[in-house]
Amino acid sequence: MKKSLLALTTCLALALPAYSQSLADLTTLEVQTKIQNQTLSATQLTEFYLKRIAQLDDSGPMLNAVITLNPNALQDAKKLDNELLAGKYRGPLHGLPIIVKDNIDTRAPMATTAGALALQHNVKTQAAPLIIQLEQAGAIILGKANLSEWANFKSSFSSSGYSTLGGQTKNPYVLDRTPCGSSSGSAVAVSAGLALLAIGTETDGSIVCPSAHNGVVGIKPTVGLVSGEGIIPISHSQDSAGPMAKSVMGAALLLNAIITDAKQPIDFTQGLNTASFKGKRIAITSHLGQFPPAVQAVFAKAVATMKANGAEIIEGLDLPELEALGSAELDILLYDFKHDLNAYLATTPEQVKVKNLNQLIQFNQQHPSTIKYFDQYLIEEAAKKGDITEHRYQEAQALVKKFARQQGIDKIIQEHRLDAFIAPTNTPAWSIDIINGDNFSASSSSPAAIAGYPSITVPMGFHHELPLGISFFAEAYSEAKLIKLAYAFEQLTNARKAPEFKATLTP
């Protein structure tokens, strides 16, 4: 599908100055204002991003972030322009092009593949509720983003951002470095200006890690806040779709449009200011030592900024049973993957021949290109599991409920009167290694991910040319509070800078 638009995008690219920024440098609010005031049309904006994709994704640095383009994108943009001319304004997302991860159901003619050969013909007639909400809000689905195949639940040693159908996505800051994953293409598309906004999904780290590695903001909402229907699953216990943007404001605007489980109507863009740290109690967990000294040094400056703006920092708090929780998490994910993916595959159209996990394993064995670089160990392990009614699964769920939630984040926040936890999101991006897989050494995503609680990452600084992020996380449905803290940090530090598409790091 992407290649079917190659002629169009190549022609459009001829009019684009080399690595032109212009519109790509504007904030979401600036673009939104231009659209609403009709000084910029949705059609012009969509054409601009198609040019960027032709120049930066299909040629030049060949970022490989976009796996499929929407052939109706320009038609959709024109329709929205006509609505605006007629006085109909759908809201802040009206006319804004968005890239969505290719594990989220879009309707024909775009397929939803998870990067997997087995799903290359998975063309649905019904889009996911998330997509319908975006369209109703006036967003233009520009295309689908490449991802770690099966959202990185295929092999235990794969390369983040690689899929059989999409190939290897690159980090726009340093092209031979990992983009992290599994929402690799979503993060890279936003960072490189291939789209204004993007949607990713996370089970554990798959929004926050690529966001941090690619210098953008990512929000992983509370599980259930955004509908998971029509999204190729790993785990209903932990999966959550969320926004990715160059700014906290942009991410908040996008989150407004996709929530379904709010107790009452909420606008996450309200009350954002630089005074949000005043009087807040922020905790640093004791497992910070896993991050290398270079990351800790940047993090220390971030903490100093919060202190200077009125935050009280509490150090050395332990989140209990992290090792046991990691084991329980894997059990839950394996059981859920079998249960949830079998249910999804049963809904795929007739042209998709794989209808359950065992058939998927056989398909991959019969198609060597799917396991050319990485095995399917996690898929095979999931297939061995029984039903989610089994005692082992229920025991793992009880452990998570007790130590990740009740005796973990919830208890510590209550006992210490905390507003949030903070931690570095990532280490500097490692070199892409398609043979041996990721050189992953440290992360802070698991406590919130296992609990099903929200987290948000914001650009924190750099080590050499490689972006680093800082994560804020707290109890269930604390998105509004976390967004306010993240916004204040973003505005006080202005840590983000645009990528320069360097081939490699120079000594």
SS3 call for 399: helix
Q: Which one is catalytic: 148, 163, 182, 445? A: 182
Cα 63 from Cα 194, distance rounded (Å): 10
Q: Identify the bridge partners of residue 422 per DSSP, sorted by sequence position.
A: 284, 472
Amino acid of residue 265? P
Distances (CA, A) of 433 to 166, 391, 439, 440: 16, 39, 8, 11
Beta strands in 246-377 (DSSP E): 281-285, 312-317
CA distance 459 to 472: 12
Q: Cα-flanking dihedrals φ and ψ of residue 241, to 5°?
A: -90, 145
Task: Give the dihedral sign, CA 226/230/235/237.
Answer: positive
Q: Of 2, 101, 170, 338, which is the active-site residue? A: 101
Of 71, 62, 68, nearest to 165 by C-alpha is 68
Q: Which residue has the tokens 């926004």?
A: 243
Distance CA 173, CA 188 (A): 9
d(CA 445, CA 414): 21
Give the closest residue to 140 by CA, choosing from 201, 83, 72.
Answer: 72
**What is the 3-class SS of 19-75, one letter each residue?**
CCCHHHHCCHHHHHHHHHHCCCCHHHHHHHHHHHHHHHHCCCCCCCCEEEECCCHHH
> Which of the residues 155, 159, 186, 206 is marked catalytic?
206
Strand segments, DSSP code E, in 435-482 are 455-463, 466-473
Under a CB-based contact definition with an 8 Å cutoff, are residues 45 and 78 in contact?
Answer: no
Q: What phi and psi values does residue 139 have, to the nearest 5 degrees?
A: -75, 150
Phi, psi dihedral angles at 373 (to 5 degrees): -105, -35
| Residue 198: strand, helix, or coil | strand
d(CA 121, CA 131): 19
353 among known catalytic residues = no
- Is 206 a residue of the active site? yes
Contact 336, 237 (CB under 8 A): yes
Active site residue 182: yes
Name the residue among 204, 150, 217, 190 with its Cα closest to residue 65. Answer: 190
Q: Are 192 and 146 in contact (CB under 8 A)?
A: no
Q: Which helix (H) or strand (E) holds 482?
A: helix 479-493
Residue showing tokens 């996690």: 378
What does the DSSP 8-state code read for residue 114? T
Q: List active site positions.
A: 101, 182, 206
